Structure 1
């Protein structure tokens, strides 16, 4: 009874006030979309042009050239023939089962999203590492971004930009960028203070310490953040297909709505194959970078 009386005394908005607040916010966002939606679309036109060009490049090029390029990049990053062979076998299996075009579409959008996340996330992580005030401000934002359900990201993006590639890219980047920001900040903060003091003693400027000492030593941690960003981008592929992003996500969505078990399974396995390729290559590159830095320090 005491609990009930305490609850009854809590101040609460009545239903009418709550509906009025929601209506005001909805109308405000609609007005913002009508007034600035076209301007924002024009701002993203270069990104759309690059994405369309990159997708056409992967689709129009002979499959064996694309395969050799991906295998070459995998070997350059990992220096492992076994991993390179695994990449070739996985992509050949994807092509054999008729999923090559959707896989290339997915690879193009994941590549663009990852590059955007790196271009935005690493500078933000550097700012967080250099300023406690920035970290205190950005950390709650990252907490919200990581705990917000993925479907919620689609609502404001679609209302603002409609359906298409760019809304999908924005939704994927927002969902996937927190790991690279957090781990860039963490990696730089974990650099030994004695190393920084030695660099300062040799006359290094703040910029030289950042690019010559902190970022190289933090690179394994940063690569772990990039790896997690790639994985989260791939996990968002199916959800992004709901707003018109073509690729492996659309057949999976179709299989859910029409109960096509085999279609969903095969395309799901293709997404898994891409995830394993990105994961193994990025991890191999991070390990190789760490060994290189270890050798440099020992020398």
Structure 2
């Protein structure tokens, strides 16, 4: 027993060899995926940067006014106006582009997996421990494989963010569909709905509040990775925060951190479920 406990299991070596194998044998698909993520980031960034800051703020304020009312519209004007005044507008645009890309990819994968998870017990059984593992592992750990597979820059930052933020939309989509009342499902079957019609007209509308909560949580988790992703070369507001840590510049860190908080509040209020 003592010899068994004293024998070190080379788990780290196994993982390292496995990653090296993937990099050596799947460089083509990895490069294609990296190019796709870079394409999304560049296009989102280009679309957001086309508008002058004042026009961007006015448009977003009008959207906030329409969806949530005067209070959020006023906060958008004051908050984003402050970010622009502090000279952090370009960093804000990069951050928004990374968040939009991360959330788009995470939802494109997460919501379908959540739907499949709700309808297939095998998928539920397989994904449950994986999601538990993903939600308990420290976020810094996600940077290691992202860095090894995709190098430095915004792409590995987005990939790490997607992996970190994908669990809530999967779980809350699953939960929302499971909580749709049986009476609604029985009514759909009574009217002769096909499985696709049942999904689109009964289950997804009934699960929408839960799905919206998953989208909200996905956005918040993506924002929480902004500073962490800056450690592997991702730009945006996380970069000045990281720079302030290395240079002990409290003022710079406060300004950039305030920018992250302002974006978080705006996105949280915009995408919060109506029932909250």
The match for 1:168 among 157, 160, 183 is 157
Contact 1:37–1:161 (CA<8 Å) still a contact in 2?
Answer: no
1:140 deviates by 0.6
The residue that corresponds to 1:139 in the other structure is: 128
Residue aligning to 1:222 = 211
Find 1:86's aligned residue among 75, 86, 90: 75
Q: Structure 1 unaligned runs (5+)? A: 1-7, 292-299
User: Scaled by the length of structure 1, what TM-score is found?
Assistant: 0.87
Give the 5 Å matches for 1:181-192. 181-192=170-181
Q: Does the 8 Å contact 1:183/1:221 carry over to 2?
A: yes
Give distance in 2, aligned partners of 1:240 and 1:138. 25
Equivalent position to 2:48, from 58, 68, 71: 58
Change (3 A) 1:22 1:221: closer
Deviation at 1:205, TM superposition (A): 1.1
CA contact (8 A) 2:219 2:267 kept: yes
- Of 109, 119, 122, 1:120 maps to 109
Q: 1:67 to 1:136 in 2, by over 3 A?
A: same
Compute the displacement of 1:134 (Å). Answer: 1.2
Deviation at 1:191, TM superposition (A): 0.4
SS at match of 1:44: helix
**Distance (Å, rounded) in 2 between the aligned partners of 1:70 and 1:10:** 65
Q: Offset at 1:9?
A: 4.9
1:42 is matched with 32
TM alignment of 1:1-299, pairs within 5 A: 9=2, 11-12=4-5, 14-15=7-8, 18-19=9-10, 22-76=12-66, 78-283=67-272, 286-287=273-274
Based on CA coordinates, which of the two structures has the bigger radius of gyration?
1
Counterparts of 2:14 and 2:207, CA distance in 1: 46
Secondary structure of the residue aligned to 2:270 is helix
Q: Distance in 2 between matches of 1:70 and 1:279?
A: 14
Once the two structures are TM-superposed, the CA of residue 13 in structure 1 deviates from its matched residue by: 5.6
Query: 1:74 offset after TM fit, Å?
Result: 2.8
Q: CA deviation at 1:49?
A: 1.6
C-alpha contact 1:180 1:225 (8 A) present in aligned 2: yes
Displacement after TM superposition at 1:103 (Å): 1.0
Alpha carbons of structure 1 residues 209 and 254: separation in structure 2 relative to 1, 3 Å: same
- 1:28 and 1:179, CA in 2 relative to 1: closer, same or farther beyond 3 A? closer
Unaligned runs of 5+ in 2: none
Deviation of the 1:28 alpha carbon: 3.7
User: How far apart are the structure 2 equivalents of 1:71 and 1:260?
Assistant: 32
Q: SS at the partner of 2:192?
A: coil
* Aligned residues: CA RMSD: 1.9
